[in-house]
Every structure is written in structure tokens, then in C-alpha cells.
A and B are shown apart, each in its own frame.
Chain A
Amino acid sequence: MTEIVVIARLVPDLVEELEIAPSGTALDLSWLRLIINEFDNHAIEQAVILKEKTGANVTIISPEAEGVEDMLFTTAAKGADRLIKLTGIDEEKPTNESLAQTLAGIIKEINPDLILNGVQAHDDIAGDLAPQIADLLNLPYVGYISGVSIEGGQAKAFKEYPGGILAEMEITLPAVLGIQASEEPPRYVAISKVRQMMSTTTIEEIAGDGLATENNFVIDRMYLPEAAEKAEMLEGNEEEVAQKLTAILQDLGLL
């Protein structure tokens, strides 16, 4: 049976205003709301789709964070078979380097055919996680994948290239893939199903060994961008604004 591992992380929700911690080099965690990294959500969906098609076994690994249990139970409600929470994480996010090393160790034990991860996380300052794990396990990595199937010992995937061009790739398994979009949009899971999972599924805990929070380069400061020169807002009712805009376009010689 095909083994699939998905690494899913929670990231700061950009719906809320972000604040800088007093240290000046990190985000203020008290104001942070965490949500699942949307790309990881797609990776989970892709794994479940593969399971539905080929009968694979799906394991989700997630570093400890506020709300991670809910997220893991939701993946179980979608069809994930095994849930692992990586513990030993304090408030501060561990570096991708140390996280990659710890996860590589855990994944090696599982010995999967395919490892999926969302192609990027917007709060990553030090590289992307999945390619680092790929190198540690000496596995190939391809990112910006939007559709995977498994045939023989190979993955057939569609990779996005610049300019809206898609390419068909053949990747020898085992491999690590960075998912941009799942074949079908992530499904909705009813809350009652998630709650049902809470009483019938367990989350395994594995202690993280050697997790570090200091990056291997120096961050001078983290700050909010200066209120950028915002656009000149055109005021008035719809007709007035339409007139103003038309005048602007005429002045620019665009009409």
C-alpha cells in the first residue's frame, strides 16, 4: 500500500493585523491568530484524493501550535489515517533548518512513497521546509505542483512554470512534492464530523529533538512597512467618479 506523508503547518492569519514583538525581531504572538497554511490544505486534499483513488495510507505531521489539534482532527474527518503532533515547541517558531532535521528523522521511520507539503508558507524567512527535508532524505523535490498521480514507482505531476505554462513531469519515487493546488479544491468538512473524530481518533505525540529557534543568519529587525503611498482615491457618487476616471484616462492619452 502506498504511504503518503503530509506536513501541515499553521501560519499567522493575515485577516488580523500583525504586530511586532518587543524584541523587534519577531512577530508578537499574543495578537496572532493561526490558521492552516492554505497550500498545506491543498496538500492534504491531494493526499486524500490519492488515497481515494489508490487506497493509500495517509499520515499527517504537524508541529505543535495553538489550534493544531482541531486542524488534525479535521484532516482525520477528511480521511487521514494517522495523526502526528510534533511536541517540544515553545512559543517561538522553530527554524526550518532544525524542523527539517527533526521531521526528516520521523519521516525516515515511516518510509513513505510520497511526501507532500504546501509549496510555501508566507511566514517563512529562512527557506522552504519541504526542499530541505528532501535533501536530508536524499529525495528529489519538485514544487508548484497542481495535480499528482502515482503509476508504477513514479509520480506523474503537473508543475507550473512561469508565464502560465504547465509542464508534465515524471518523478521517481520516493519523492517530496510542494503542492500549489490540489486536483480538486479542498473539500468542506462538517463540524459535527470533526467533533466525531475527536472522540474516536487519537493524535500521536512525538517529541521534537534538537529544535532551535535561532536562525543561521542575523535578523536586524522586523517591522511593519511604512504606510505606502496609497492610491489617490477618487471620491463622489458613481457618475462623478466615472467622469473623473474618464478624464484621467484622457489626460494619460489612453483613450
Chain B
Amino acid sequence: MPEQVEYWGIPHQWGSPNILVYSVMFLAGAILIFRFFLQARIWWKVGRSEARWNKLHLRIWNVIKYAIVQTRVLRQKYPGIMHVALAWSFFIFFLGTALATINVWFIKFLVGPVFSIYKLTLDVFTIVFIVGAALAIIRRYVSKPDRLTYQPKFTWTLVLLVLIVLGGITTESLRLAVEKPINMLWSPLGWTLAQIWIATGASDTVLINTHLGIWLIHLFSAGITIITLPVGSLLHVLTGPMNIFFAELDRPIGTLPPTPANQEGVPIYVSKLNELTWKQILNGEACTECGRCQDACPAYGAGYPLNPKEMILGISEVLKDAKSSPKGYDVSLLENSKLSTEVLWSCTTCAACITECPVLIEHIDTIVELRRHLVIEGMIDAELQDALTNLGRYGNSFGQSPRKRAQWTEGIDPPVKDATRESVEYLWFVGDYASYNPSLSELTAKTAMVLQKAGVDFGVMFKGENHAGNDVRRVGEEGLFEMLAEKNIKALERCQYQAIITTDPHTYNTLLNEYPFAEPQTILHYSELLLMLIKEGKLKFTNPLNVRATYHDPCYLGRYNGIYDAPRQVIKATGCDLVEMPRSRDLALCCGAGGGRIWMEEGKVNERPSESRIHEAAALDSVDYFVISCPKDYTMYQDAVKTTGHENDLYIKDLIDLVAEAL
């Protein structure tokens, strides 16, 4: 029966090859562990402590899902298949070597059919590797997409991996050429290559000697790969799964971390390397430089200074520079151009980066924490300063009297209920933009009238409502957020209601995920309410729209809170023919207003994210309606449709517009 032969063709006269193999491997392994330990130790030494050991079973599950199965990597076809081919084949090779070792020292099971399947698997995955390597070579040296980093270390990695695999398949094919075992067809690739060696007519001795040489190369290339792992691009093999293992599990992404404090209770406004947590430093080291976050980032796409990939690598850069600097680790992050104030202020907090990252890097947490420092130091632009001052004084960013907050209700009959005076079923938290922006007051009034038609018992808080504070928090003004939340919670406590509804996803996000309510609340986005009303038959559409429409997923509704279907069902219920844009659901491109950007000076821009989105919609086949479900989206896209010259062929419609039209 065919079986695994240990050290076939390796001479034993100078002693057992075990000594060579195990000493090389143990040495390489020891060097790897030692070097990696030295590197990793610095993260814990420099960074602040943070406990991330809870929910072990979930953490292990995440490693399986993201590091082994690599679901995030597979979100894109070409690089997904490419990387999975390379990674899984090496998992299999590693497993193969491990099984062979067990076979030698413990149980001899690589015999007969088991052995044949073992050989087949290894061969198949060698083919898989070759396909992956070919895809990688084409990608890195021919197509050269922008988002990758082009540095020698990536070439070295490819060379070493190819060397290892070639070494493996060559030695196998040489052995097969000599041995010609019974089960040779279970190694199809090896057997095919063996034909070449046979065809050369070389003698067995030549083949065996060649085999020895290549076997040694294979051994040493494996050793070199292991030794150079901490300084090459393969570091992510260790840091990636670590980063995945230690990912944040307790907070949903819609909840920002609180401001940390030192032992005396003094708040820490992060600006220096040693004020980051060790996990934030690990983020920098785990980055595989894949560039998916860069591709997805609306700020980067528009030409703003922010590049999320470079920002994360910047942390690693600062760490590296600090190691050799006399100042040590007590060094400011902001002095690195990848983490400058312009970079930090460019972020819209759309969460596309954290949705794409294969190793679960948490870009936004770091950006917001650094923004907190900028706010404390007053390093904000004049427009943002005005907005924050207005929010502090009047509870709205427009600088208008709180008494005018519900001016949009004038003329609505029956009058909109005051939830601070009478109990209502649904308390409608209207939000700043829907209340004060003149181009939105019509829509807000329409929303009220639709709800009235559907017989919904609702009310608003009139001047008792303040800005919910979601973007205040994202801008880094924690104190102002706390103040606004306190005021809002106090106002809500005086009201009687069953559930809170809002048309604004930002408001939705912070009420749901960040407000410290004393009692659990039901918070609904109006798309959910509309769907409920449709299902209950309270909204009957007598005039189906028969229009081709596309839907733009708001960041804070979709990526942040997973609500993708309710709005789509509402759109379809009104009789629209829904066509998806290429970037839909969690791929949707942010309109550019979030993260406080709508309060900041625009600066130089190549193409606004909102304009890019309009182009994307206009490219769809005869789509007339661009449907949104967020007030800021409404204003951003109304502007964009004009500046791109599409105001006569693409109409911006809110869900309420569709419902009103179809009733």
C-alpha cells in the first residue's frame, strides 16, 4: 500500500535529516517568535491598556470567519479569489506538513486511500496557489491599481512564496519520476511534471541529486520566509488575525468610545503616540495595505487630504520613527502629514472604511479621538466654530431662535400636536435640518400631512427639541454632545409616548446607540413606520407611480444600523420599479455631509461625493427618481443634481414624496 515516506531521497549518511530540518525550523521559529515578541511588546509598553479578552468564543469565531474563511476579502471578486487562493493553499500546505509530522511521530495514518486523498488535496491546492500567484503577479505588475502600495517588500514575499511552492511541487515531481508509485495519479500535477523529467532521460541518480538540491532550497526558503516575516509584507499573517481577535465587540459601530481618563480622572485628549491604546497601535501594524478603505472613502475620492489607508499606516510610521528618536514615544501624531489636522477634518464618518477592512481596523475611533484633542485646542475652522457656538447657544447649528424650530408647522390643519403638552403614540424627533433649512420645510410639512392621513397619533417637541448631537460627537465636541443629550433626555422625560420616530438617520443612530436613557426606548426610522403602516393597510396607494427609481442608502441608516430593506419595500409598494446603483447597500457612497463636514468649509475638491453619486445614478438606464431617506441627503443631492446639470432628468425624491404622490 502506498504510504508517506519520510525524507525520501534525502541521504541519511551524515546523520538523520531530522537534525537539519528541526534545527532549521526551530531556529527559524524561535527567531520569528523572538522578533515578533519584541515588536509586539512595544504596543503594550507604549499604548494605553485596554482589556479585550471578553467573549472569547466570539473572538475565536471572528478569527475563523475573517482570518481563515476571509469573508471580507471575498467581498470583491478578483482580489478576493486571488488572496484566498494564496492563503488557503498555504493553510493546506501547513496542515499537510503538520499531518506528515504527526504521521511520523505519533500515528501512522497517511496510508492507502487516506494518503491518496492527502496527495490529491496538496496537488489541487498547488494548482490553486499557482492560479492565485498568477492573478497576483498580473495585478501587481500589469494592472497596477492605485490603491496598492508598490514597494520591494511585496515582491520579496511573492518571490519567497513562489519559491517555496515551486520547491514543493518540483521535489514531488522528481520523486514521482523516480519512484513511479502506484498512486501516482493521485498527484496529477506532480505526475504531469514528472513526465518532463522522465522525458529528459536523466538517470535516477541525477534526478535524486536534483531532488536533494531543490529540497534544501525549499527548506531554506521556508526558513527565510519565517525569519523575515516580522519585517516583510507577511507580518499581516500574524497581526491580521490578532487584530481580528481583539476587535471591539462590546460597542456597535454606531456608538463612539467615551473619552478616556487617567488614574486621577483627568480626561485624556489623544494627540500623542503613547496616548493611543495598544489596540490602536496594533491597527497600524495589522494593515495589509490592501487599499480597500482608500477606494471606498468618499473624502479620498473627492480629493480631500484624507487617505484612510495612509492614515492607519501613519501610526505605524510614527511608531517606527519613535523607536529611533531621542524623544521616544511621547511624540505627537499630528506632526505626521498622514495624520495632520486637514486629514482628520476631512472624514465624513461614513464607515465605508471599517466595513471593507479585511482585518477589522477601526479607523473612525482613532479619527474621532484625535478630533477631540483638536476641539479642546480650538484647532477648528471658523465655520465649524460658528456651528458649534450656535449649537451651544441655541440648540441648532443655524443660529436661529429655538422658538422658530417648529415654524414649519404653521398652516398645517389640524395643527401638529405638542408632545410636551399632551401624550402621543409617536414622538417625532424632527432634527435640525428638517426643522430649520428653508428648502426642507415643505418636505417636513408634507411628512406631517402624510402621517396625519395615515391616522398616526404623533407630536413634536417644538422648542423643547435640541440637536440630537450625533455629528457633534463625531466632530469631537464631547462636552457639547453631553449637554445636548442631557437637554433632550430631560425634555423627553416630560413627554408621554410609545415610540420615537425620526426622518434623520443621524438622529436615529445617536438616540438608539448613544443616549443614556433611563428606560429602554423604541426608536424607529420613518421608513420602518411607513412600512408598518403600509402592511397594516393604513396607507393605501391608489395611484401607483410606475416610475423607474433608484435608492441611495444613507450611511447612518445602512452601514451603521443595517436598515436596507424597509425603505426599499416602501419604494416598491408605491409602484416604483426599483433599480439598484452599482454601489448600493453597504457599498453606498456617502453624500459627504456627515461627520460634521456640512458645518465645515468645503475646501478644494475634485468632484464632490454627491456629484459622483448623481453621475452613478444618471448612468442607470432611464431612471427618473433618485430616492433618499435623510434630510441632509435631500439638500446635498438637490445641489448636486444642479451642479452636474441633471436637474431635468433626475428628480430627487424623499420616501414621503413617493408616498404622497402614490396615495
Contact = CB atoms under 8 A, between A and B. Distances in A.
Interface stretch (A3-11, A123-131, A181-189): A181-189
A61 interface: no
A191 B403 contact: no
Interface in A65-105: none
A23 interface: no
Contacts of B400: 15
Contacts, number: 43
A193 interface: yes
A110 B482 CA distance: 38
A175 to B, nearest CB: 29
B153 interface: no
B479 A191 contact: yes
Given A15-B400, A15-B401, A16-B403, A190 B480 contact: yes
Contact of B378 (A13, A188, A191): A188
A191 B477 contact: yes
Contacts of B394: 15
A190 B479 contact: yes
A16 B402 CA distance: 9
Interface string B252-267: 0000000100000001
A194 B380 contact: no
A192 B378 contact: no
B382 A193 contact: no
Given A190-B480, A191-B477, A15 B399 contact: yes
B392 interface: yes
A189 B388 CA distance: 10
A191 B267 contact: no
Contacts of B477: 190-192
Nearest to B266: A196
Nearest to B477: A190
B380 A188 contact: yes
Contacts of B392: 191
Interface in A181-227: 185, 187-195
Interface string A16-43: 1100000000000000010100000000
B393 A191 contact: no
Given A16-B401, A35-B393, A192 B479 contact: yes
A35 B388 CA distance: 15
A251 B375 CA distance: 53
Contacts of B479: 190-195
Interface residues of B, number: 23
Contacts of B385: 188
B483 interface: yes
Given A15-B400, A16-B401, A16-B403, A188 B389 contact: yes
A188 B388 contact: yes
Interface string B355-388: 0000000000000000000011010101001001
Nearest to A15: B401
A190 B373 CA distance: 10
B657 interface: no
B478 interface: yes
Contacts of B267: 192
Interface string B606-636: 0000000000000000000000000000000
Chain B contact surface mostly: helix
Contacts of A194: 479
A35 B401 CA distance: 13
B437 to A, nearest CB: 17
Contacts of B483: 191
A155 B399 CA distance: 36
Contacts of A191: 392, 477, 479-480, 482-483
Contacts of A33: 401
A200 to B, nearest CB: 11
Nearest to B476: A190
Contacts of A188: 375, 378, 380, 385, 388-389
Contact of A189 (B259, B378, B401, B403): B378
A192 B478 CA distance: 7
Contacts of A187: 378
Contact of B375 (A15, A185, A190): A190
Contacts of B376: 190, 192-193
Nearest to B375: A190
Interface in A220-247: none
B166 to A, nearest CB: 60
Contacts of A192: 259, 267, 376, 477-479, 482
A15 B375 CA distance: 26
Interface in B105-133: none
A109 to B, nearest CB: 33
Contacts of B389: 188
Contacts of B399: 15
A194 B393 CA distance: 14
Interface string A141-184: 00000000000000000000000000000000000000000000
Contacts of A195: 479
Closest 10 CB pairs of A and B: A192-B479, A191-B479, A187-B378, A188-B385, A191-B480, A188-B378, A190-B375, A190-B376, A16-B401, A15-B401
Given A15-B401, A16-B403, A188-B385, 13 more contacts: A13-B393, A15-B394, A33-B401, A35-B393, A188-B375, A188-B388, A190-B376, A191-B477, A191-B479, A191-B482, A192-B259, A192-B477, A192-B478
Interface of B: 259, 267, 375-376, 378, 380, 382, 385, 388-389, 392-394, 399-401, 403, 477-480, 482-483
15 contacts: A13-B393, A15-B399, A16-B403, A17-B401, A33-B401, A185-B382, A188-B375, A188-B385, A188-B388, A190-B378, A190-B480, A191-B479, A191-B480, A192-B482, A194-B479
